[in-house]
Amino acid sequence: MLSQQMTKDFILRQLENLPPDGLVEVAQFIEFLQFQAKQPGKRVRAVRKHVSFGIWADRPEVQDPAGFSQNLRQQIEKRQDA
């Protein structure tokens, strides 16, 4: 893993190669990260309180939730009637 200073230097070098639109996106993402840092854990608690949280916990085909959801997304993207 890179040290904090090496990471900063790497990011600064990469910024020099971005087009102006890319710089705007980077600035917006930085603002987003700063906002999220001010809201620690808020999203996790909100998700866990949602009524649908855990509804598939007992389903045997959902042993890998990330893989299962990715598969569902791929199936939806391939649908011809949507």
For residue range 14-50, list pLDDT tens digits in order: 899 888 888 888 899 888 888 877 776 666 667 677 7
Rounded to two decimals, the pTM is 0.42
pLDDT value for 22: 86
Residues 49 and 27 in one domain: no
Task: Give φ, ψ of 22 to 5 degrees.
Answer: -65, -40
Residues 20 and 48 in one domain: no
**Choice between 2 and 6, residue whose per-residue pLDDT is larger:** 6
Residues 12 and 34 in one domain: yes
Domain count, the chain: 2
What is the residue range of 16's domain?
A: 4-40
pLDDT value for 42: 62
Residues 62 and 50 in one domain: yes
Residues 34 and 11 in one domain: yes
Compute the distance between CA of residue 21 and CA of residue 2 in angstroms, rounded to an integer: 27
